[in-house]
Amino acid sequence: MKDQVSLDSSRITLRQSLGRTHMMTSLTAVCMAGLFLTITALLALRLYADHNLELVARAISYTTEAAVVFHDEEAARDALQAITSHEDVASASIHLANGQVLASWSRAITTPWSSLERQLAHLILPGPVELPMLREGKEIARIHLVGHGQYLLRFLLQTLLATLVCLLLSILGALYVARRMQHSITEPLKSLARVAFNVRRRRDVNLRVPAANIAELHDLGEDFNSLLDELEAWQAHQKRENASLLHQATHDPLTGLPNRALFEARLAQAVTAGGAQGEHFALLYLDCDRFKQINDNLGHAAGDDVLITLARRVQHQLRPMDLVCRLGGDEFAVLLSPLHHRQEVDEVMGRIQRAMAAPVVLGDGQQLVAGVSVGFAMYPEQGTTAEALLQHADGAMYEAKRQRREEEDNTRDTER
């Protein structure tokens, strides 16, 4: 787990990755452009310096020709200094045809920059320029010039400053463009991640990924939404299946009433609530009279009709919070909860007896009267456990059935 956490913390985000990519691209582009422009400018400067030295040499040749002819060293030196001191020249000299130096001039090194300028000129600028001085087609002297790097250093410094400014502007522009692009890319991905997080952690499949402006991200979001649609449909199907299975496991398939398993669970809850909160409730046991004779004489279909009618009529006589269940065969149980007075039990039992006194219409149109015998047990008077209440209610039901049969037998004996 620690290794996974450290691995996650070492990973960069997509936003950081895009920012670094844009930054490196911008810096590389600016540096390469600056390098190429600098090389091109240096080549142009080299050609310019070479051409400028040739022009200076020609000017010196025109100006000092007379001094050379008459070997006037002072006039040649003054003319040489007057011309070269205002040009980008490090040194200049005039050599006679016999090799003697008639006049020479060199720029004084007064600052460290001057030394740097000469070194740059030596490395980058073309070599010394030599121009012959001709008179009547005959060389009378030769002019020797060496370039100075003043303008070159100034150019390099300006280029460096311009490159730094371009770098700064490129960084700012790259950051702006990166943020715009990051927003267009990361926002749809963040939306997708939020939806995926809620689906995984909160099981919320109702969320959907919003549309994106980028086609690929939009298609990705639509595909993810399609998966969520299928997942939502599958989840709804699973809920229906689970609800159906739960209903089948806890309800009687014939009457649709809760079965014994659900009744026992609700009875146990009622006993627990009664012990904790002091609530009272009653348990009714119902049994259909002459049900075996109906099944034997009229068939199981008639018996099913009687059970369905009994279940429906008993349901209609109960309060909304009461529960009626089919325990099996022709036995039913009713849980009256909460209970405030014993009179409520008698009223419910009376309504059930009156409802079942009406004839039951069978599927083939026949009618018969199917009475019920009812016994009850009250909590906590007749028991404080589920077993004790069931046993007492069952015994009371059989006692009621026995009394009902005795009454019917006495009635038949009286009629005879």
CA 325 remoteness from chain centre: 49
Spatial separation of the C-alpha atoms in residues 107 and 37, rounded to whole Å = 30
Is residue 61 within 8 Å of residue 93, measured between CB atoms? no
Q: Rg of the Cα trace of the chain?
A: 57
Query: Of 351, 374, 253, 352, whose CA–CA distance to 304 is shortest?
Result: 253
- Cα dihedral 301/303/307/308 (nearest 10): 20
Query: What six digits make up the tokens of 34?
Result: 């600056």
Query: Of 133, 18, 14, 17, whose CA–CA distance to 76 is shortest?
Result: 133
- Alpha-carbon distances, residue 275 vs 112, 178, 271, 384, 390 (angstroms): 105, 69, 6, 8, 17
Spatial separation of the C-alpha atoms in residues 329 and 291, rounded to whole Å = 9
Determine the angle formed by the axes of helices 112-124 and 14-69, rounding to 10 degrees. Answer: 90
Mode of pairing for the β-strands spanning 138-147 and 323-328 = unpaired
330 is catalytic: yes
Q: For 1-93, where are the alpha helices, taking DSSP H only?
A: 2-10, 14-69, 73-84
Query: Of 270, 279, 281, 271, whose CA–CA distance to 337 is shortest?
Result: 281
Is residue 396 within 8 Å of residue 284, measured between CB atoms? no
Select which of 88, 305, 322, 330 is catalytic.
Answer: 330
Q: Which residues are catalytic?
A: 330
